Amino acid sequence: MNNSTLIIGAGASGLMASSILGHEAFVLEHKKESGKKLLITGGGKCNFTAAEPVDSICSRFYEKKNFVSPAIHSFPPERIRDYFKELGVESIVENNGKVFPASGKAEDIRKALLKRSGVIFFSENILSIEKEEGLFHIKTDQKTYHAKYIIVASGGITFPDTGSDGSLNKIIRGLGHTFVPQHGTLTEIMTPTLPLFKAEGVSIPVTLRKGKVKLSGDAVITKRGISGPVAENFSHYLEPNDEMTMEFIPLNRDSFSSLSSKTILKNALPLPERLIFTLVPELSSKRVLDLSNKEKDEIIKALSDNTVAIKLNERRAMCTKGGVSTDEINRKTMESKLVENLYFAGEVIDVDGQCGGYNLTWAFSSAFTAASSILRKKKLVLS
């Protein structure tokens, strides 16, 4: 195995890299099963990419759009779909641009990747990685492996039961790499100081703000706070314990003059009654003409400028923010700038995207880039 590639992690990015390298590589997975997180994406249907122009895809990765650009341009959504088609998986595009396997089964994506993957060693925990004379020596709790190249595809820290648990982070730091602090993202935003449970199930557009950052979109009120696309995407900008401002409707003092004066507030505003009652219970049944200026200001604050303490529901987070610093990775090859022949792919890197298949796009594109770079080093030609 002295000229082989070791892939650490049999998740989405690890399996993609393995499927490209084939028997040129072997995989170490510390769980008993591969691709477990793949099986729960898209509600089990696996939204594995998005039918959008490449530049639009890259823009979904917040401040890391320039870092992800070379990889996603090299292996864009149409090539990802073609790759899986070659492996027997047809895909469909929904009206919102999300791409799913035509069968609606995430299992088909996993099976397709496993068709071309190299050998996978399960239930092995890595204890140390050392490099001497151009070879990596990887000690597990069962034996020691040797490889010329390593692709770290160990995932983030969400859904630890799937193997994405951060257990390798200390070892990666030992190789000299910096870890940006990690926490879950693409998740529900909980508002413990603002009980919203009486409006649970209400779907409504909302604008979320933190400092100069503002995002508008569809939200769903939950018994703990808010979820839905806008909340999940906005969670990228939040820390696990933070605060944000919610605007359910733009209001100011002048807004009340355009409302029917004899109508009670919960019927006068274009918002669900349950939501108005939840946010301003004592005022929701007052007629507009009976509202004092102080009460109007209270309503404006509650519905248009409601700053609340938040917590991120990391137990349900679909993605990880943070990871190996992108400053230490060559974005064109995914190779470490610090350790020759050490590569990274997927969620272990400090890259996270919006919901909609973008993070799996990144997993596949970054894995393709890393594997292709290794093949070029070995002077092999991609068919």
Of the listed ranges 138-142, 158-162, 210-214, the one predicted with least confidence? 158-162
CB–CB of 348/154 below 8 Å? yes
Mean pLDDT of 327-349: 98
Mean pLDDT of 295-316: 95
Average pLDDT, the chain: 95
Q: Which pLDDT does position 139 carry in this prediction?
A: 97
H or E, element range at 25: strand 25-29
pLDDT interval class at 212 (50, 70, 90): very high
Mean pLDDT of 201-210: 97
Dihedral of alpha carbons 209, 42, 72, 168, sign: positive
Domain boundaries along the sequence of the chain:
5-184+319-377, 189-312
- The residue behind tokens 């508008």 is 216
* φ, ψ at 351 (rounded to 5°): -140, 130
How far apart CA 73 and CA 59 sit, in angstroms, is 12
Its pTM stands at 0.93
Mean pLDDT of 214-238: 97
Phi-psi region of 110 (alpha: psi -120 to 50; beta: other; left: phi over 0): alpha
How far apart CA 377 and CA 369 sit, in angstroms, is 12
The share of the chain scoring above pLDDT 70, in percent, equals 98
Four-CA torsion 6, 11, 12, 15, nearest 10 degrees? 40
Q: Which pLDDT does position 43 carry in this prediction?
A: 86
Mean pLDDT of 114-130: 95
Phi-psi region of 187 (alpha: psi -120 to 50; beta: other; left: phi over 0): beta
The two three-digit tokens of residue 6, written as one number: 């070791």
Q: Which pLDDT does position 271 carry in this prediction?
A: 96
Burial status of residue 382 (CB atoms within 10 A of its CB: 0-12, 13-18, 19 or more): exposed
How far apart CA 267 and CA 264 sit, in angstroms, is 6
CB–CB of 41/162 below 8 Å? no
Query: DSSP E strands: which ranges in 105-211?
Result: 119-122, 126-132, 135-140, 144-147, 149-152, 179-185, 189-190, 203-210
User: Does the structure show a pLDDT above 80 at 122?
Assistant: yes
Mean pLDDT of 175-195: 95
User: Does the structure show a pLDDT above 80 at 178?
Assistant: yes
CB atoms within 10 A of CB 255: 16
CB–CB of 68/59 below 8 Å? no
Q: Which pLDDT does position 287 carry in this prediction?
A: 95
The two three-digit tokens of residue 348, written as one number: 């272990």
User: Does the structure show a pLDDT above 50 at 382?
Assistant: no
Kindly state the DSSP code that residue 349 receives in the 8-state scheme.
B
Superfamily designation of domain 5-184+319-377: FAD/NAD(P)-binding domain (3.50.50.60)
Query: For the segment 232-256, what is each residue's pLDDT rounded down to a tens digit?
Result: 999 999 999 999 999 999 999 999 9
H or E, element range at 77: helix 77-86
pLDDT interval class at 383 (50, 70, 90): very low
The two three-digit tokens of residue 99, written as one number: 């791409």
Q: Which pLDDT does position 66 carry in this prediction?
A: 98
Q: Which pLDDT does position 380 carry in this prediction?
A: 53
User: Does the structure show a pLDDT above 80 at 146?
Assistant: yes
Query: For the segment 66-106, what is each residue's pLDDT rounded down to a tens digit?
Result: 999 999 999 999 999 999 999 999 999 999 999 999 999 99
User: Does the structure show a pLDDT above 50 at 326?
Assistant: yes
Mean pLDDT of 154-174: 88
Mean pLDDT of 13-20: 97
The two three-digit tokens of residue 47, written as one number: 């939204």
User: Does the structure show a pLDDT above 60 at 294?
Assistant: yes
Put the strands of the sheet holding 149-152 in their side by side order: 119-122, 25-29, 5-8, 149-152, 342-344
